[in-house]
Amino acid sequence: MRRRKPGVWDRARLRRAALAYLSRYAAPSAHVRRLLRRRLERGAVRGAEIRAGEEDIDAVLADLVRMGLIDDRAWAEAQARALRRRGASARGLAARLSSKGAPREEIERLLAREDDAAELEAARALARRRRFGPWRDPPARAERRQKDLAAMARAGFRLDVARQVIDAEAPPEADQ
């Protein structure tokens, strides 16, 4: 099988690569920036002619933001909602968004809107999904209490929140 020639990496090819990625996945601008840098590095290793640089990546990102294809705020809000539904703590949420490249201001804004009720609901969602506390079979519940609390702590929940969820007599009515 013959290999194709590596080609030329210029601003147009960077734009096509970013559009191809964004057509499949929503992503913050920092993530797309890392993606485009990796593409340039990989192209250079494979012998491609590199005519693009950091200023071209900045220009492509600016165009995509202007067109509305990259919206860090909307992406962070959508990710936060999805992570909370799955049972992510405020700490876990901040760590995940930060690792994906969400701007610190967006993370702080999202966490400022959160309250104790949201943290409690997320803890219940995690406990329900992992079958902790009141969602566990009654015979094994007492002997697994410490392990359940430890798992909730590793997920980033405060001890008082974890105890409230794990020590509940029965699951909330909506969860049964």
- Token digits of residue 64: 């995509």
Report the C-alpha gap between 89 and 162 in whole angstroms. Answer: 11
φ, ψ of residue 8 to 5 degrees: the values are: -120, 130
Torsion sign (Cα): 95, 110, 66, 19: positive
Q: Give the tens place of pLDDT for each residue, 120-161.
A: 999 999 999 999 999 998 888 889 999 999 999 999 999 999
CB 65 within 8 A of CB 15: no
What residues form DSSP beta bridges with 71?
none
Q: Which amino acid appears at position 62 of this protein?
A: A
Q: Give the tens place of pLDDT for each residue, 35-78.
A: 999 999 999 888 888 888 999 999 999 999 999 999 999 999 99
**Residue closest to 110 by CA, chosen among 90, 86, 136:** 90
